[in-house]
Structure 1
């Protein structure tokens, strides 16, 4: 990645953190004014965005740094530890919001207050989120950054609770249907819980060195099997750490060729795998064909 692309990725990360921070402040003020549970759910989601975007910004910054003496494979696992903590936080928030919504539905109808201010905040939130998604996708197309692309997809999902909170406030303001807020909050709580399970499972799998996605492994295996000069392969292993994919494979080569020829085959294969999986760290071991695994 050249310096210009790194600056674009860094700028997209800063924009993401800034927008998330602004939305957290605005939604907190709106929650204080309205008492809306749907806004509380949207606030929780924005707080998660702030954590995720901050982690993504750190990942982008670290991506430009080479591994150091104490961390020969980089610092990617810090992302998984942060993601696991985020999953626990989001899951707990989802349970609290869902429980509060159920309790409010069981009691007498509770009218919201200052709906107009809440509506204004949610409209601003939606506009800022759409603008950020547009910018992130433009940067991701230019640089190919997986971190920026993933963050963009996360913000697309955020539009759902934002729009839900806006609908709940409009229903309360113009139709007097205050219970819609609790119903929307229940749906948002379910989304938060599902997101927490998804994030937590992915982080746990990475920390436990689970293999990469089977489709990715199949793609890598296809490259190796069809590479000129490779007579076979074995011990193809993968693992994930943050946004990094670690790939290790033993290839079987003609033992009569020179060391330089064997090196050229392995180096070209490694470059091909990295082109197919840009965020990969690839290690290739060379064995003599016909002698079996060593």
Structure 2
């Protein structure tokens, strides 16, 4: 199955399948309500009202699909995918309210035998037509939902299937009443209401979980963790956090690298992780990578280490004669294991580590000193321009 990854194509596909569903729902609702009254089938009328309510849910789905396509902006830095989530929550709430209304009406008729209706044979044909149409619509919508990774369309697809199931229950109820079981039609309507309520609660719960920043599925998170671990330069992966944003996902992760690499190399590793995740996992649209020189999940207790300005001030105060041009020297600080480790690049070969250690040994934060000597490498092309 070819996935639809382009945002505009995903939105267009969602809008098309929703419009088709709306037209079918409108046709079915008219047929079922008219035949329900004509054939005196309470369950079929309830099912027709359910199909009519689908038009409102289809409108919400269509609007959410249009809105969610908008690119991230200043007010919505993570995009507009949550509009799909809100629409799903609305859809679940609407289903629950419809179920309560249908169930209440059926219960009143059940406890008032004079109000029970005797359906005719037309109700059976209407129920059969509804089953076939809604099941076909379910498969079509689910196919598009999987292509476009849309949870909202998945919810709408199952909404269509719930209609098909409810029509099956209606069919059983109508047939039962025609066989002399007068109460079966009202009981079937209550069964339809219970199924609709179950679907509404499930959709609403899933949407609320997503609004509460629930993580991706555990298997998907482990796939992401494993993939990051394969990136060159990554020693370990921890503090991996994910969250769903409609049909997309956001990832925050800490990666452990060699402690003494340069900032630019660490940045390169983070770029490789970010771009690779977006390319390998289609649903990931935002990645934040934190580069760690050591495991910071359980940081050691101790005093706060001094920043560069304080370290330079200590060097200037204690080693001014050894390092007269300190401001022009390349000084690299490594903050590891609760200490500061110095790497100093010098042109003067006369300065030794032991000389600096003697001057700086009483600094409690100092871990080690490494001196690097500058070697000028002559460009062979400049030395021999003619290749001689």
- 2:162, 2:196 within 8 Å by CA — same for their partners in 1? no
- 1:110, 1:178 within 8 Å by CA — same for their partners in 2? no
Q: CA 1:261 to 1:51, structure 2 compared with 1: closer, same or farther past 3 Å?
A: farther
CA distance in 2, matches of 1:7, 1:85: 21
Select 2:286's aligned residue among 282, 286, 292: 282
Q: What is the CA distance between 1:277 and its match in structure 2?
A: 4.5
Q: What is the CA distance between 1:163 and its match in structure 2?
A: 1.2
2:271 is aligned with 1:239:
no
CA distance in 2, matches of 1:92, 1:6: 28
CA distance in 2, matches of 1:200, 1:12: 22
2:230 is aligned with 1:198:
no
Q: What is the CA distance between 1:86 and its match in structure 2?
A: 3.3
Structure 1-normalised TM-score?
0.80
Q: How many residues align?
A: 293
Q: What is the CA distance between 1:265 and its match in structure 2?
A: 3.8
Q: CA 1:77 to 1:63, structure 2 compared with 1: closer, same or farther past 3 Å?
A: closer
Counterpart of 2:213 in structure 1 is 209
Counterpart of 1:88 in structure 2 is 93
Q: What is the CA distance between 1:160 and its match in structure 2?
A: 0.8
Counterpart of 1:230 in structure 2 is 234
Select 2:31's aligned residue among 19, 26, 34: 26
2:44 is aligned with 1:39:
yes
Q: What is the CA distance between 1:148 and its match in structure 2?
A: 4.1
CA distance in 1, matches of 2:199, 2:250: 25
Structure whose alpha-carbon radius of gyration is higher: 2
Q: Which runs of 5+ in 2 are unaligned?
A: 300-388
Deviates more, 1:88-97 or 1:268-277: 268-277
Q: What is the CA distance between 1:181 and its match in structure 2?
A: 0.9
2:172 is aligned with 1:167:
yes
Q: Which runs of 5+ in 1 are unaligned?
A: none
Spell out, residue by residue over 1:256-282, the C-alpha distance to the aligned partner (whole angstroms, 9 max, x if none): 556665455434433554466533333
Q: What is the CA distance between 1:15 and its match in structure 2?
A: 1.4
Deviates more, 1:199-208 or 1:26-35: 26-35
Partner SS, residue 209 of structure 1: coil
Q: CA 1:33 to 1:276, structure 2 compared with 1: closer, same or farther past 3 Å?
A: farther
CA distance in 2, matches of 1:186, 1:82: 26
- 1:111, 1:172 within 8 Å by CA — same for their partners in 2? no
Structure 2-normalised TM-score?
0.63
2:84 is aligned with 1:79:
yes
Select 1:15's aligned residue among 14, 17, 20: 20
Which of the pair has the greater relative contact order for Cα pairs under 8 Å at 6+ separation? Answer: 1
Spell out, residue by residue over 1:82-140, the C-alpha distance to the aligned partner (whole angstroms, 9 max, x if none): 33333333223323332333333333265535634433332322232233234335545
CA distance in 2, matches of 1:103, 1:134: 35
Deviates more, 1:144-153 or 1:211-220: 144-153
CA distance in 2, matches of 1:203, 1:213: 15
Counterpart of 1:97 in structure 2 is 102
Spell out, residue by residue over 1:228-274, the C-alpha distance to the aligned partner (whole angstroms, 9 max, x if none): 32112333222334333322222223355566654554344335544
Q: CA RMSD in A?
A: 3.3
CA distance in 1, matches of 2:95, 2:105: 15
Partner SS, residue 67 of structure 1: coil
- 1:33, 1:113 within 8 Å by CA — same for their partners in 2? no
Deviates more, 1:27-36 or 1:204-213: 27-36
Partner SS, residue 115 of structure 1: coil
